[in-house]
A and B are shown apart, each in its own frame.
Chain A
Amino acid sequence: MLAIYRREIQSYFYTSAAYVFLGVFLTLGSIFFGVSNLAARSGNLLALLSELSYLWMLLSPILTMRLIAGERQRSTDQMLLASPCPLSGIVLGKYLAACTVLVMAVICSGMYACVIAVYGRLYAGEAAVGYLGLVLQGCAFIALDLFVSCFAKSQMTAVVLGIGVNLLVWMADVLASAVTIEWISRALNFVSLYQRFAPFVRGQLSLSNVMYYLFFIAVMMFMSVRALDARRWSEA
């Protein structure tokens, strides 16, 4: 697993994937910061983090498209499958590598917090909870898109599928507030990642929400392993 993790990290930076991800995230993040904080003369970091969380929907597939679909496209998946490393190790190594790049992006976005701290007032506890939520939200999207990537034969398909599924997740949030039937609304609220994220950007740390994210990630990992294993039994 460590071998896979190291290779993926190297690969992100040998190719343009990590630079595109970090570049787009920080460019759009800076625009949000400029408009929401600098131009509005606001020190509300949590509102900025809430806006940044929507970027995961579009950017997470950039990190995950190569993980499974890319290997399949290059036929390097056979090298991994023929190695003694178990499928769970392969999936986990790749997932952690993508999460590491995401965490790097979040660390870079810490400069916005620094600016607010210098020129305004920053509540460290609130900021920490907000950043924890942002990381968990991003890791959940990566887990979801990694699972989606298991069904794609090319990286392009993986990106399109990933963005599509992410939008559906976001739609669940929108639908939950629009649907009048209570149990459907409640169910949609339960599966909505954005509903779980909302308390973090209010500065509220809830163990149940953290557990929900961890459970969601574990389920996605498990399903990714099963999807890859199922392909061995059925692939034409």
Chain B
Amino acid sequence: MRDRVLIFAGLSLFLALVTYPVWQGLAARSSTAGPVLPATAAGQKCVAPRDVMRVAHMEMLMSWRDLKVRENQRTYTAADGTVYTIDLTATCLTQCHGPKEKFCDSCHAYAGVPAVNCWSCHTSPPAAPNPGELR
């Protein structure tokens, strides 16, 4: 029966497509380790706890932009009272995390998230700050 051949071919194609992550992952020997981030500068503390930053850094950066550009407010007071200068390049990257290629991009590329518009205005610092604690 010719139509059975067609049906089973179609079914096989469907199965192949549905299991694409499986055979692709096995073939590429994908690891579950996740991206490795560079060490941050010694003695620095982030504006918010790591868990919060992982999930919500984009919202914070958006609100920083609005504070600085639209409301002319140039400092940010963290939950613990520390006051930071609002500046992605000068504060976050230069003082602490290093060039965006090694920090931002590792997770963003891993998760397939293009960094919306950051780099059409901001620049990335050329070198990493002093090595410190591995984050």
**A and B: interacting chains:** no
Interface positions of B (Cβ within 8 A of A)? none
The residues of A with any CB-CB pair to B shorter than 8 Å are none
